Each structure stands twice: as structure tokens, then as C-alpha cells.
């Protein structure tokens, strides 16, 4: 009986150590995202207050919506006097890319419960998707690490939002201090870390060119989705061609 208790205690200690190790890896992998989300969340908090949103609503949006670009767009629409229907439709279109991201990761989390899948999908962002998409094909997802990445990222976003709300009275404009560029800078850093082949380089350059071209042509709402589909298709085609040629 004593030996059974010792075995159970040892198993619990080993499990706790494994989970702690997974959370440590999650923090290390998510650190670039944290460094990006804090200033961008701060900028959102300042802008939300300048728009007239209450402190509660500003923070609640970061907790319940958790979509950086959509939140910034929503704040801009509110500032322009847009109605709730316009805000909902616009942010829905902007976030359509999440269908592609969720579909790409779905095969790797099929063994999880529906509740776990729903929570994981809710906390998925462009940046955390980039981390998961580069890790999941290499090894089966460790649940505590995967959720750790998402929770740490959202905590950084909420923390930045709260700080922005509290400091909004002291800052007139976020552009002079460069906070509005934090999100693009973070995307570039994540992209560079993943470009390890000519196919991925071509896909990245294509996505940027198509997205910028569509914006210059006046297509600003669907440019991200179209650029993603085009670039992914070209990247897949190039990888298939290289694989066929090498074999």
C-alpha cells in the first residue's frame, strides 16, 4: 500500500514536471508574439478609449473577441459612426482567414474533445497559427504546450489592452512612437523564421506581392485571403515539382 502511494506520488510529480516543461517551451516559443502583442494591444487600448468605448467594453473585446486586426478595424468603424451591423459584417469578412487556419490544423487535433477543439480554435491567431503549423507536422501536438502558446499570447494581448486603456489619457497619438508598426514587424519576424526553402521564400514573396497589389487596386477586405490562397497554391506546386524532380 505504501509502495502504491509512492508510485502514485512519483507519477504525479513526473506529470507535473512534464507539464511545467511543456509550458516553459510554450513561453520560449511565444516570446516573440508576446513582444509584439503588448505594444499592439497597448495601441488598441489607447484607440478604443479615444473612440469612446468604455473601459469594460474595451477590455471585454480583447477577452471575448481576441482578434487584433478585427478589433482595430472595429474601433475605426465606431470612430466613423458605423452601426453594429457594419462592424459585425466587416470583422466577419476580415476573419474569414480563420476558416483556412482552422482547417489546416484540424487533422492534428482530431483526437481532442470537441470542447478542447473549440477553445483552441477560439484562441487561434495568425501568429499562433504560424507556430502551430510549423510544429504540428514535425511531432504530435502536446496539448499543454499548444494551449500554453495560445493562453500566453492572449494574456499578452489582454495585458497590453489594459495598459493602453489606463494610459490613454497620457497619449494623444500612437503613431509618433511607432506602436502602429508593431504588428507588421512581428509578422515579418515570424515569416523570416519559417523561410527555410525556396518554395517557402517564393510563397512569402508571392503573398506579399499579391496582397499589396490588391490593396493598390482598391481591394482591401479580401486581399489577405486571396493572397494566402494564391501563395499557398504556388508554394505547394513548387514543392511538388521539386519532389517529383528529385525522385
More confident residue, 115 or 5: 115
In the predicted structure, residue 65 carries a pLDDT above the cut 60: yes
Tens of pLDDT, residue by residue over 100-110, are 899 999 999 99
What is the pTM (predicted TM-score) of this model?
Answer: 0.70
On average, the pLDDT of the chain sits at 83
Q: Strand, coil or helix: what is 56?
A: helix
In the predicted structure, residue 194 carries a pLDDT above the cut 80: no
Distance of CA 89 to CAs 79, 92, 136, Å? 16, 5, 32
Instruction: Give the pLDDT of residue 20.
Output: 85
Helices and strands in the chain, H and E counts: 11, 0
Mean pLDDT over 75-94 rounds to: 78
Rounded-to-10 torsion of CA 83, 86, 91, 92: 130
Amino acid at each position: 500500500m505504501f509502495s502504491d502511494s509512492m508510485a502514485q506520488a512519483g507519477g504525479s510529480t513526473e506529470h507535473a514536471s512534464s507539464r511545467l516543461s511543456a509550458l516553459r517551451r510554450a513561453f520560449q516559443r511565444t516570446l516573440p508574439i508576446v513582444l509584439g502583442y503588448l505594444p499592439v494591444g497597448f495601441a488598441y487600448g489607447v484607440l478604443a478609449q479615444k473612440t469612446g468605448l468604455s473601459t469594460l467594453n474595451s477590455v471585454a473585446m480583447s477577452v471575448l473577441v481576441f482578434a487584433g486586426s478585427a478589433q482595430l478595424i472595429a474601433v475605426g468603424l465606431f470612430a466613423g459612426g458605423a452601426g453594429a451591423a457594419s462592424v459585425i459584417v466587416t470583422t466577419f469578412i476580415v476573419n474569414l482567414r480563420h476558416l483556412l487556419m482552422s482547417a489546416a490544423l484540424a487533422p492534428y487535433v482530431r483526437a481532442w474533445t470537441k470542447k478542447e477543439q473549440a477553445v483552441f480554435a477560439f484562441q487561434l491567431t495568425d501568429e499562433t497559427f504560424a507556430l502551430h503549423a510549423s510544429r504540428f507536422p514535425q511531432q504530435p501536438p502536446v496539448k499543454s504546450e499548444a494551449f500554453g502558446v495560445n493562453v500566453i499570447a492572449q494574456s499578452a494581448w489582454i495585458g497590453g489592452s489594459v495598459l493602453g486603456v489606463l494610459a490613454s489619457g497620457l497619449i494623444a497619438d500612437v503613431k509618433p512612437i511607432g506602436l502602429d508598426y508593431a504588428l507588421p514587424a512581428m509578422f515579418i519576424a515570424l515569416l523570416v523564421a519559417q523561410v527555410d526553402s525556396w518554395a517557402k521564400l517564393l510563397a512569402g514573396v508571392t503573398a506579399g506581392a499579391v496582397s499589396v497589389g490588391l490593396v493598390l487596386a482598391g481591394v482591401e477586405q479580401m486581399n489577405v485571403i486571396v493572397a494566402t490562397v494564391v501563395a499557398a497554391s504556388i508554394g505547394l506546386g513548387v514543392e511538388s515539382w521539386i519532389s517529383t524532380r528529385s525522385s
